[in-house]
Amino acid sequence: KLGGTVTLVNLLNYDSTITISSPLRYATVKAISNLVYDYGNRRLMGNIVLNNTEEHLGERTERSERENGEKSQRQRNERLESSNNSISSSSNNISSNAVSYLYNLENGESVPPSGYSTKRNISSVAPGLVRLIEIADKLIHLSTTQELLTTDLNTLICSLQAISGCANEPDVRAEIGKGQGLKVLVQCLNHPSLEVKYNALCALNGCALYPGNALEICDIGGLAKTIALRHASVKNITFFPFPSIANQTLDTLLSNNLHAKYWFTGVIESNQSIQDGFYEFGHSPSYHSLSDLLTLPVDPLVEVVLINTNQDENLTNYISHANQLILSIPQPVSIRSKIETLAQYVSDLLGGACEYDDYDCFAYDKPLKAIKTKLSSNVVPIGMYRKGVARHRALLFKVLGDRVGVPSSLVRGKHLGRSYSWNTIVVDGAESVLDLLHKVGSLDPEKTSQATTYKRQTKEG
């Protein structure tokens, strides 16, 4: 209410007197890392444009304090005391003065800085979040050239904690992804300090709740680093919270980036809908961004199947026709009749049925080579296929089913060194495997010999 958050941001920006490794810098960032766990302060730090004013924000804060009473006051005092204790070892004089000033501001014992009104529009507050990211970035580069001083390390950790707190706010997550914030956080995963890695994972976990951020984090190497830290946490790391946050961050990344999830787990559940931008690149030992895959020279061993109605007119037409087919089913319409109708449509689009023993001779390599040569790319929109095996049929069924009310899971296995996929569907409470190749439209209950045969998941395959 009294401009404390604004003052802290200004302290961060006052580079002429505060060096990057100053104890006062640490005091300021530490205070911010505590303050951002309040809703109003997160909005201020993220420079989010709101229609209301600080006066309205103050009323909401006062109401919250009345509800929390002594508990709220005690928590503030504990945070400030913790900050004071942490800072005093670095520089008692400067840091104690900073904490004292912050304490006075928070308890209403000082007037606001000149030029700041309690009715000042929130959108005009300095972008503190951007400054925090810049500080973290500088400290990361400093750590590559020399060993960080204790104060520098604490400042970096508190910067990450503040960014993590800001990421609790949905609007701020998007703001973090607009600049270099995600790149800085991913770089922190390489830091020698375990505590820096831990707080970077916390921040990435919050940021990845925004799908656009999850995609970028994966593309710039964050997914690979998180997986590596997850494996390391199981084997070597004894820092107690670390395995939990590594697993949680990985789950968040995969839940908000389905092609990464499909690459890593080989499964997309029935309640997860495949959207434009999804691509499937088979059994690869490492994750690849679509931009990287588009730059690869044409290779007969590389096949990337792309879902994008904006660039695939055939797929758009498939979706429209599938809707018409479902609507034309005679009443009463059952889920089984929908499944059979859609399965037959997918089979017809991709070469029709074949006998079980003829599957390995169901040649699609030659027409695929022609398509890739025409496109000068290994990335092929699914609407360009005129022949397709299990991998293509299962994916197309999933995409169409998501849009016409026939939910299914997409599961990937392997047969004769190649990706082999199938759909599972729950009907009448039982999960079954859908046949899109031989007895098109039939459902074989999971764990039966028929389902196992269709999936071709033998020890050799």
- Measured CA to CA, the distance from residue 216 to residue 208 in angstroms comes to 9
Q: Kindly calculate the radius of gyration of the chain based on its CA atoms and give it in whole angstroms.
A: 28
Residue 427 has pLDDT above 50, yes or no: yes
Higher pLDDT, 159 or 46: 159
3-state secondary structure of 407: coil
Cβ-contact 163, 155 below 8 angstroms: no
Mean pLDDT of the chain: 76
pLDDT for the residue numbered 326: 96
Range in 64-73, 113-122, 307-316, 421-430 with the lowest mean pLDDT: 113-122
Residue 249 has pLDDT above 50, yes or no: yes
pLDDT for the residue numbered 162: 77
pLDDT for the residue numbered 155: 78
Q: At 195, is the pLDDT very low, low, confident or very high (cuts 50, 70, 90)?
A: confident
At 32-60, the pLDDT tens digits run 666 666 655 555 555 433 332 233 334 43
Q: Which of 354, 366, 364, 367 is nearest to 391 (CA)?
A: 364
Greatest mean pLDDT among 182-191, 362-371, 377-386: 377-386
Q: Which of 267, 300, 301 is nearest to 284 (CA)?
A: 301
Range in 58-62, 162-166, 228-232 with the lowest mean pLDDT: 58-62
The predicted model scores a pTM of 0.74
Q: Which of 312, 318, 369 is nearest to 347 (CA)?
A: 318
pLDDT for the residue numbered 166: 73
Sheet strands (E) in 166-322:
267-268, 279-280, 304-306
Question: Per-residue pLDDT averaged across 208-232, rounded?
Answer: 93
pLDDT for the residue numbered 247: 92
Residue 88 has pLDDT above 60, yes or no: no
pLDDT for the residue numbered 9: 58
Range in 73-77, 162-166, 247-251 with the lowest mean pLDDT: 73-77
pLDDT for the residue numbered 418: 73
Greatest mean pLDDT among 102-111, 206-215, 241-250: 206-215
Residue 122 has pLDDT above 60, yes or no: no
Q: At 364, is the pLDDT very low, low, confident or very high (cuts 50, 70, 90)?
A: confident
How many other C-beta atoms lie within 10 A of the C-beta of residue 292?
10
Looking at residue 423, the DSSP 8-state letter turns out to be E
Cβ-contact 125, 47 below 8 angstroms: yes
pLDDT for the residue numbered 356: 86
At 272-318, the pLDDT tens digits run 999 999 999 988 889 999 999 999 999 998 999 999 999 999 999 99
pLDDT for the residue numbered 261: 97
Q: Which of 341, 294, 319, 324 is nearest to 396 (CA)?
A: 319
- Conformational region of residue 367, where left means phi above 0, alpha means psi within -120 to 50, and beta covers everything else: alpha
Q: Which of 417, 218, 385 is nearest to 307 (CA)?
A: 385
pLDDT for the residue numbered 157: 84
Contacts of residues 263-270 at CB distance under 8 Å and 24 or more positions apart, as own/partner, are 263/287, 264/223, 264/227, 266/411, 266/412, 266/413, 267/409, 267/410, 267/411, 267/412, 268/398, 268/409, 268/410, 269/409, 270/407, 270/408, 270/409, 270/424, 270/425, 270/426
Bridge partners, residue 121, by sequence = 53
Q: At 227, is the pLDDT very low, low, confident or very high (cuts 50, 70, 90)?
A: very high
Structure tokens at 426: 């729950």
